[in-house]
Structure 1
Amino acid sequence: MAFEISTESTVQLPESATNEEELLLAKTKNPGETPPNPLSKNQIKKQKKLKLYETLKKERRIKEREKLKVRRQEAAAKGLPVRTGPSRKELKKRTKASIENPNALNVAIDLDYDDLMHDGDVAKCIKQCLRIYTINRRSHNPCRLHFTGIKENGRIHNILKKNDGWQNWNVDYHFNKTHIDIFAKNQIVYLTCESDTVLEKLDAECIYVIGGLVDHNHQKGLCHERAVKADLKTARLPLSEYVDMKTRSVLSTFHVFELLVGVYEGKSWTDAILETIPLRKGAKPKKSKDLNCTDGDSDSKVDQLPR
């Protein structure tokens, strides 16, 4: 005689199961099924705080602008300087002029790593992109900035959309298209620390690509591997040629961009590196480079770039 044993069981959800933790526990009482790890009370509180923070973000931004407007009015009434730097209109005008310049330096941030990062790292990636945009906008000689490889409605795109006015930034957005689809292969130079080629000078004819991967070295060498597989030229920044460091010469995405912009503005490689490298890396200029440089000479090399 054969018996059929049913492994399915219907679980009546308790009326008291009002929070997410109790619902998860109630749904996983089937025989032989391993219940998932429920959220702790602290995690639930953090999620609620995060949702509240996002809800009130726009209201806080409006209040901050109103306070800033009042402070500027008070400073103007007292005869004090209203701003310590250029206005938003001046910065936008400067960046727009650089974009319209056909000989401007082109730098692309490769964001085709949407599926290889955790949610937290995706958020950090966008923060670095915001910082890159700010660095370029406040530069005396802005470059033409590209964000490539953005998957439409992907995680990077969704977090980017949380920033008000992102569509109006002076950035060339490329959705569902990588740098290989946009630029000529012979113009692309992918910057990676694993490359054997040293970047000695900036060339207006080149498109410099920086990998927008934030993974805390879990995917070590992936950007270089992708570039080599695509048969692209690669190069590394001349860090060891101009400075001595206590740690490895691995920089974050926005540090690489900041260094390029510094050299593009006319700074020497040594000065640009020392101003960009975090203090914890203990960077010091090489004595040999200092001895070989005269007072009127600069160790930066910029080829065919306008000033």
Structure 2
Amino acid sequence: MTHHMSKKELSRLAGQIRRLYGSNKKADRPFWICLTGFATDSPLYEECLRINDGFSSYLLDVTEEDCFSLFPLETLVYLTPDSEHALEDVDLNKVYILGGLVDESIQKKVTFQKAREHSVKTARLPIQEYMVRRKNGKNYHSEILAINQVFDILSTYFETRNWPEALKKGVSSRKGYVLQNSVE
């Protein structure tokens, strides 16, 4: 995915990986994290080393292999805002793919198409099911989140089994959404 990204976008992704890793270290129930398609001679790896102190010592797996060849396809769930299917639960027998695409130009359905190419199940966070669009001056609403935000939502849900709580914690008000029945 990183071949779609500029130097600035790679730097932002490296920062998101740092925040995701930090959240996982603090979690009561941490996830196993595997960075796939992640070559040690890639610009993203170099950027991670540059901006993330101790990156080479992070307790996570890194492999050049892509997730589609590393794991059985039936265990994969590609999280993408373009999916028709809302994620209902976190299943420990599944491998959740957080696309790792920082895309300031917002190319439509890149992650969704990648999942379809490999016949992998897709899901989106249940933002539409638990949140409503808030009126704002810019009329801006977006379900596109950074990988660390998606991770924080999954982690909070996994610990609490409460989508509204997880979404409230993870979806910034700048995205233009608030929980249903909330007054803000």
Deviation at 1:145, TM superposition (A): 1.0
| Structure-1 separation of matches of 2:68 and 2:46 | 23
Residue number in structure 1 paired with 2:175: 281
Residue 183 of structure 1 pairs with residue 71 of structure 2: yes
Q: 4+ residue runs of structure 1 moved beyond 3 angstroms?
A: none
Q: Is the 8 A contact 2:15 2:48 kept in 1?
A: no
Unaligned runs of 5+ residues in structure 2 are 135-140
Q: Which of the pair has more CA radius of gyration? A: 1
How many residues align? The count is 174
Aligned-partner SS, 1:219: coil
User: Could you tell me the percent identity over the aligned residues?
Assistant: 28
Residue number in structure 2 paired with 1:138: 26
| Structure-2 separation of matches of 1:172 and 1:128 | 16
Residue 171 of structure 1 pairs with residue 171 of structure 2: no
Aligned-partner SS, 2:153: helix
Alignment TM-score, normalising by the size of structure 2: 0.89
Q: Deviations over 1:72-95 (max 9, x none)?
A: xxxxxxxxxxxxxxxxxxxxxxxx
Residue 251 of structure 1 pairs with residue 145 of structure 2: yes
Residue number in structure 2 paired with 1:154: 42
Residue of structure 1 aligned with 2:91, choices 187, 203, 219 = 203
Unaligned runs of 5+ residues in structure 1 are 1-112, 288-307
| Structure-2 separation of matches of 1:178 and 1:285 | 36
| Structure-1 separation of matches of 2:162 and 2:95 | 21
Q: Which one has more relative contact order, counting CA pairs under 8 Å at least 6 apart? A: 2
Residue number in structure 1 paired with 2:125: 237
Aligned-partner SS, 1:150: coil
Residue number in structure 1 paired with 2:9: 121
| Structure-2 separation of matches of 1:218 and 1:277 | 18
Q: Deviations over 1:42-98 (max 9, x none)?
A: xxxxxxxxxxxxxxxxxxxxxxxxxxxxxxxxxxxxxxxxxxxxxxxxxxxxxxxxx
Residue number in structure 1 paired with 2:102: 214
Residue number in structure 2 paired with 1:18: none
Q: Is the 8 A contact 1:274 1:283 kept in 2?
A: no
